[in-house]
């Protein structure tokens, strides 16, 4: 029978593995999107709806997802806005929406 400490460690490892898989899936999506011509429109799923977007905006969205997941993986980089190039903390998560 496993000790509670060993079970907690195994659970932590499973979380990290799942996080790495999710990051890798976003990186693959970015690679696939970069192989499309810029004039092509793509559909991006948000919740249970699909939105038609340009390839550039879809890549930006995927990169933002990767940056957010990397921040979850590395707690030392907890402010994902700096990873995206936004130095100010006054920006909200929906400031890019017009």
Question: Could you list the residue range(s) of the whole structural domain that residue 76 is in?
Answer: 11-83
In a domain, 56, yes or no: yes
In a domain, 95, yes or no: no
Tens-place pLDDT, residues 61-84:
999 999 998 887 776 655 545 444
Q: How confident is the model at residue 48 (pLDDT cuts 50, 70, 90)?
A: very high
**What is the count of structural domains for the chain?**
1
Sequence-ordered alpha helix ranges (H) in 1-98: 4-34, 55-73, 80-83
Q: What is the CATH number of the domain that holds 52?
A: 1.10.287.370
pTM over 0.95: no
Q: Is 89 helix (H, G, I), strand (E, B) or coil?
A: coil
CA distances, 93 to each of 59, 68, 70, 77, 80 (Å):
17, 11, 17, 17, 11
Residue 93's nearest CA partner among 65, 52, 72 is 65
In a domain, 1, yes or no: no
In a domain, 6, yes or no: no
Residues 6+ apart with CB under 8 A from 93: none
In a domain, 89, yes or no: no
Q: Is 76 helix (H, G, I), strand (E, B) or coil?
A: helix
Does pLDDT of 89 surpass 70?
A: no
């Amino acid at each position: 029978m496993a000790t509670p400490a060993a079970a907690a460690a195994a659970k932590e490892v499973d979380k990290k593995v799942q996080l790495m898989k999710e990051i890798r899936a976003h990186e693959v999506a970015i690679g696939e999107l970069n192989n499309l011509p810029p004039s092509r429109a793509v559909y991006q799923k948000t919740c249970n709806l699909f939105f038609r977007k340009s390839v550039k905006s879809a890549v930006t969205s995927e990169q933002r997802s990767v940056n957010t997941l990397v921040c979850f993986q590395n707690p030392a980089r907890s402010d994902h806005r700096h990873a995206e190039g936004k130095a100010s903390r006054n920006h909200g998560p929906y400031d890019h929406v017009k």
